[in-house]
Chains A and B, each alone.
Chain A
């Protein structure tokens, strides 16, 4: 036995007892089982035949002693055959019918005690008797079988109903493990049941398998084929939900697998589907809840960061308003005010980026003069980053694009900020604007740093931060991810351009420019 009753099996392996010894033992047990069933059937028939024969002999003795004539005794034998058919099987009933015919011939037709017959009419009557008794036997047996089958069907339906009730009572989110399989085994008297779930690759088994049911269930899923092995009484069915194979369920020792396995499989598939639907709904609910927390957290952060900054700015402003500051003190007040204001802008930008990270970006398009917007940003960053030289090269003509100015500002600001942040002091940051067909390309590059080849593909991933970046500067790992998201929402693109030189990093942002006819309408 590869597993004791009620033990879940992981995807990696089965119980400790395996190999040839196990196979031989299993075969021996099965043969024993089948021989036992066969002998049991034969003995049962013989017993019924014997009882029927004794009753026939008794009837013959009584009727012979009482000198009951041939015509009167026939219905009594017929009654015996009918009673025999109602209790025994067809074999024993047929034996009793033939024996009754022989007894009638021997004891009630002339000449007595001989199988010969003086009157051909008696022969005809005996022939009619044997035919009638066999037909009755056959009919009665069939009726009994049908009644038995109907009873079985009713029982099966009842068990299915009970099974469905018990399974539906389980936690819909729980894995389809021991608790799930046990009702199958208990209600249908199955030796072992196993289930293989494709999503988790987990195999569970309850019961006492002799046929390595777990492996067969998993193999059936892998091969994409159902299995019906009558000799070993193993049936495996694949589980399909929504047109997709989601696993397999195996039964060992299931009575009438042709009748039952389909229904059990359909029920399991429905419950598996319910579990998947429940998990999907739970995930969606969890995501919605996370989003509520996240939004509340961002609001709280905005409040917690900006209120102290507002206090600093109000305080510095008050100092200046109060007068009597020396020129030097005035300069310091200016520095405090400017840095606090800058910290405020930075906080706003970070929080806006964090918000955009999880929102569907819907740009509010308007005609934007990209050239002058980028020039303004370059001037601002140039004033701020005194130890980086920021140069802007632009084409002959000012370039306009249909875009959301706030989002474009955020995106280009992020690129310039990155170029300053990740380059060495004294580096040169260049911004180039170029009209390329239907797009405007804004290239922001810096010298004196590089992005390792193995990190290049990952830098646009959410929360990804390169090795050097993690060591050298602080950051959220959201900036480039959100910037690319904004570019894509505009129908544009944001890519890293790798050139020949190893010490230069260039990001290229492309935004669609307006088509001439559209621009005409917009500027009319």
Chain B
């Protein structure tokens, strides 16, 4: 798709950036001490902190990634919403109050509160850095995705812009400005997502999304000796140039009288062969890529996704009018939606490589239950294991994300930590329910960009007007800023507080610690820019799934066992973090998805698992138990939580 930046979008974007930069400058005085820089002084109101939690957590993965995944793969995308939200239950019931009670600036403080162990300090700091990096990549990819339609800049410019702005936010006022950027962004995201869903429900569903929507053409074909041809009596000026078979599907290349090529999908309708217009991107050996046979600027690579049949209360209709939320969902379930399927491998046509997406009418009943992405219905046992692994990681990952845990140090008391978590659950839960509507809306409104699932929600907003699109895009951009700021603060704390101050025992003054945090922010920001450019094109929610897996494997076993198993030792915790970290990152690096990223055949990947949680989380628990049992000090009282509880404070 081609995007034209609008003046409104640019104005809103500039306003937001100026506001955020001004806010950071204003807050900078509050961040002159370590407590101010890393924990916003510990005096943030629980209500503000709760929405800031939402702003921190509802990242590009939640807004862009999940909506995109639902738009392309239906209910399976919503499973991410459910897993992400469910993870907050662990945070509330198990982690929130102890984290506040035991820690100072970082979650390493809490883990190390009773041990003063160099091993824990080092491992937890490294784990924080790795999880933050895994989480940073998709945020930066999301930034690049947004800036192209918003401002007309290429991907790398968007990534660099976000990097520079976030470095400024964090390097000037640390957690103080980060908190209010997250609060603002969290609030705006929820409000305007609600507005978008209200617009959607008011407009209802239609078989023709808009009067200028390009529905795929269908022409009659003939088949002789397995070769596709135009019928003898056809008036069409299209000529068959080539045909290719991929799996069970046949694709035909036609040329028109102007010499423009197009690709068509051979279908069988009531026993008669027909050709249905597909979407294609041709990478030529010489010359620019062609979109449906023409340069990108020609605008012939159409947005897709529409309803071919709408069933409302048992009757087939062309449009529904306004719908209640439940009616919207049931209508989609009873109708047929034309999604687009991508061929597994590009076709080699001469020297050119052709990617094809073809119309794939799908019953709503299949869209509204699991199975389109996760092959739990017709896949093998490995597909099911991959699915369980992902759901496990999402559930246990939230309460182990360092940039989330550090928000517990910004409130005055345990009670505030608990209340702010509940505010976060309400806000985040409400938003995740909205994602199902936004994703399904994008799927049926003829707005999808086949090359960027991440743009689905903003493009749905564009359907309702440039103003809403501009606001939503600017908020999505703010979403990236808020989350990335939190991640960089977490990384700063890991380096300046955990490593320099505690592990290396470098005697830093308060000011020097803040300075070290700021320098780390700049370095981490630069690395994030590089990674955001390198990972262009991957679905951001998919990438965040990995961050959750690493956090759940490296950090959560240590947190839970510290709190609930009296025999936990410092060496057990350090070993558990190390094994959880190495095993999860290792499995990811040899996963099918990474193999594809390396340009290799995913089927040859050494690990069949895309998500490591099902192996690395239990492994981390086992290592902690075994090492702890082997490193008990004879005659000494249990080291861990029994003591913690006695000294509990609120």
Question: Does chain A bind chain B?
Answer: no
A positions within 8 Å CB-CB of B: none
B positions within 8 Å CB-CB of A: none
